[in-house]
A = this chain, B = another copy of it.
Amino acid sequence: MADTPHVVVLGAGFAGVGVAQKLRDAPVRLTIVDRNDYHTFQPLLYQVATDELEPTAVGSPIRDLLHRHDNVTFHKCSVDRVDLANKRVVVQGMPPIDYDYLVIALGSVVNFHGTPGAEQHAFPLYTMKDAMRLHDHILRTLETVDKDPLLVNDGALNFCVIGGGPTGTELAGALTELLHTELNADYPNLPIDQARVILYEHSPHLLAHFKPKLRDYAKQALEERGVEVHTGIGVMEVDASEIKLSNGEKIKTHTLVWAAGIGANPIADKLEVELVHGGRVPVGPDLQLPNFPGVFVVGDMASMTDAKTGQPLPGLGAVALQAGHHVGKSIAQLVAGKAATPFHYVDKGTMAQVGRGAAVVELPTGGTLTGHIAWLAWLGVHLSLLSSAEEKTSVFVDWGWNLLTHRRGKRILLSDDNTSTDNT
A93 to B149, CA, bound (A): 12
* Identical chains bound together, number: 2
A98 to B267, CA, bound (A): 58
A265 touches B187 (CB 8 A): no
Contacts of A107 in B (CB 8 A): 423
Contacts of A424 in B (CB 8 A): 35, 78-79, 106, 265-267
A316 to B414, CA, bound (A): 23
- Which size bracket describes the interface of A in this complex? 35 or more
A60 touches B130 (CB 8 A): no
B129 touches A412 (CB 8 A): no
B147 touches A419 (CB 8 A): no
Among A59, A144, A187, A421: residue with most chain B CB under 10 A: A421
Whether, in the assembled complex, A139 has its beta carbon less than 8 Å from a beta carbon of chain B, the answer is: yes
Contacts of A109 in B (CB 8 A): 421-423
| A13 CB → nearest B CB, Å | 9
Whether, in the assembled complex, A110 has its beta carbon less than 8 Å from a beta carbon of chain B, the answer is: yes
Among A93, A266, A410: residue with most chain B CB under 10 A: A410
B412 touches A147 (CB 8 A): no
Whether, in the assembled complex, A204 has its beta carbon less than 8 Å from a beta carbon of chain B, the answer is: no
Residue of B whose beta carbon sits closest to that of A134? B420
As a 0/1 sequence over residues 90 to 117 of chain A, the CB contacts with chain B under 8 angstroms (1 = contact) are 0001100000000000111110000000
Stretch at the interface among A120-128, A344-352, A358-366, A371-379: A120-128
Contact A93 to B144, CB < 8 A, known contacts A35-B424, A63-B411: yes
| A396 CB → nearest B CB, Å | 14
A122 to B11, CA, bound (A): 33
Residue of B whose beta carbon sits closest to that of A119? B421
As a 0/1 sequence over residues 397 to 421 of chain A, the CB contacts with chain B under 8 angstroms (1 = contact) are 0000000000101111110111111
